[in-house]
Amino acid sequence: MRASPLSYWLASAPPFTGGAEGGVEGKVDVAIIGGGFTGLSAALALAKRGARVVLLEAGRVVGEASGRNGGQCNNGTAHDYGTLSAKFGKDVAKAWYRAHCDAVDTVERLAREEGIACDFNRCGRVKLAAKPQHYDKLVRAHDLLAAEVDENVRLVPPEQVRDEVGSDAFHGALIQTTSAQLHPARFGVGLAEAAARASARIYEQAEVTGLDRLPQGWRVTSSRGTVSADQVLVATGGAPAAAPFGFFRRRIISVGSFVIATEPLDNATIDRLLPGRRNYVTSKNIGNYFRLTPDNRLIFGGRARFAISDPRSDLKSGRILEETMGELFPALKGVGVDHVWGGMVDLTADRVPRAGEQDGLYYAMGYSGHGVQMATHMGQQMARVMSGEPDANPWAKLDWPSVPGHFGKPWFLPLVGLWYKWQDVIR
């Protein structure tokens, strides 16, 4: 059977039933552009504060990155904590690290408060040393984290790593025990239903094509009509090609991340290969991430190729992932693959998120591979910022220069890929 090109998460999520009907029109307090985790979380929070909210999504809710990821909801920053501390100072590094921990708590809280059945589970995340020298780095990272910011970490020495993962490819590990996993598309649809219940109007298939300043507020033009709003939140991630988003397109680098989902595995195989049923990531720059689903499928992903996600690229990357999975776990060679898909990871040049206000537009994006938790959290935080609490934004003091030579299409991705591959060889 040929693998489905649809994300396993989107294929197994319920439909969103609370979408607004008819055309977009009228006057609102807040217009939100983007129906992923950031926009939906903000819509829910703002509507519960009594704001009149319209959310405009070009496709289906959580149809892009929010429904196309690896289903991991991990503590910790994209950067090594020690690297952040050296560059930005200990106090800033602590605040950013704790924001990521708070973000996992936010996901759990919203799932609980809104009754969202998304299989949220505090399983822990295992970072696997792909080389012996990588374990030495994990030891240093563990010692600094435990001493300064996160007591919920522990080391797995090389001689015990097979207790966590049944593979000869790894040389020790670091576990962050409070990290979680969930079904991201079910969570996202649940957020959308909750926001609709709170009276937010959510329009799917409503691509935004124009943003115009008014004497007070904005006029937002979409393929389903026009609305005027006192405030606008841009929650698009990799901004679309439309002219109003040029500022963000020059600052966000979108790169494909690719995923496969196997057929269901038997319990004996799982007990042998992944007895802890945790989240797993490898320590290479071009590494892999994987986890099990409740129905015993292995979700196995990575930046298999530095390329944009499209149907052809997804299939090529899927074949690479299938081969890599077999190398790490020989017992899985030849196992059936039921889904192959890709999604776009939205990076900033320094891999630190950005949120704030630009020329009167509010925004939050650039989560750099940590979007499941940070997007959800920042939707809540930006609702506070837009309601008069500027200190709720942990990234408020960061400047955001444009990427030189970047005007939308990331022509430099193959060069970046070669650089990271070389780094994986020599380090």
* Reduced 3-state DSSP string for 121-138: ECCCEEEECCCHHHHHHH
418: confidence class by pLDDT, cuts 50, 70, 90? low
Q: Assign domain 8-417 to a CATH class.
A: alpha beta
Averaged pLDDT for residues 149-168: 97
Phi, psi of 134 (to 5 degrees): -70, -30
Averaged pLDDT for residues 333-345: 94
Distance CA 169, CA 385 (A): 46
Residue with the bigger pLDDT between 277 and 405: it is 277
Model pTM greater than 0.85?
A: yes
CA angle 376/34/212 to nearest 5° reads: 130
48: confidence class by pLDDT, cuts 50, 70, 90? very high
Quote the percentage of the chain above a pLDDT of 90: 81
Amino acid at 28: V
Mean pLDDT, rounded, of the chain: 93
Is 60 exceeded by the pLDDT of residue 318? yes
Quote the percentage of the chain above a pLDDT of 70: 93
**What is the structure's pLDDT at 253?**
87
Helix (H) or strand (E) holding 280: strand 279-282
**What is the structure's pLDDT at 296?**
97
Contact 167, 273 (CB under 8 A): yes
Task: List Cα–Cα distances, 13 to 118, 194, 235, 338, 400, in angstroms.
Answer: 9, 15, 22, 16, 36
Please state the separation of Cα 287 from the chain's center in Å: 16
Averaged pLDDT for residues 380-394: 97
